Amino acid sequence: MMNKPNVVMERANEFLNRFEQASSLEERETIAAEYRQFLTTLNDADRDKARTIMSGQWEAIGQEMNSLQQQLAAFRQQYDHAVA
């Protein structure tokens, strides 16, 4: 059974809003994993709609997460050197 397009959009936007409000990298990673799981619950047509709706936003989010992971790694390295 197909979900109504606005329901798919609303759920996708909920994930985006939660992601934007997340306060940590770990929280953002969890939300991204939940979104990927949400996609598996949709039929092909609704999955395509959700991906189309979010494609630009999730690409930017992925880039931001990569940047944050690099920053976190740099901070950990600085901390390790300071503690050593």
Phi, psi of 4 (to 5 degrees): -65, 140
Coil, helix or strand for 23? coil
Asked whether the predicted pLDDT for residue 13 surpasses 50, the reply is: yes
Q: What is the residue whose two structure tokens read 């990569």?
A: 66
Reported pTM: 0.59
Domain that holds residue 17: 5-83
Q: In whole angstroms, how far apart are CA 32 and each of 44, 61, 84? A: 19, 9, 35
Q: What token pair was written down for 47?
A: 């999955």
Greater confidence (28 vs 50) lies with 28
Q: What is the pLDDT of residues 30-80, one digit of tens each?
A: 998 998 899 899 888 888 877 777 777 767 777 877 888 888 899 999 999
The count of structural domains within the chain is 1
Q: What is the residue whose two structure tokens read 């050593």?
A: 84
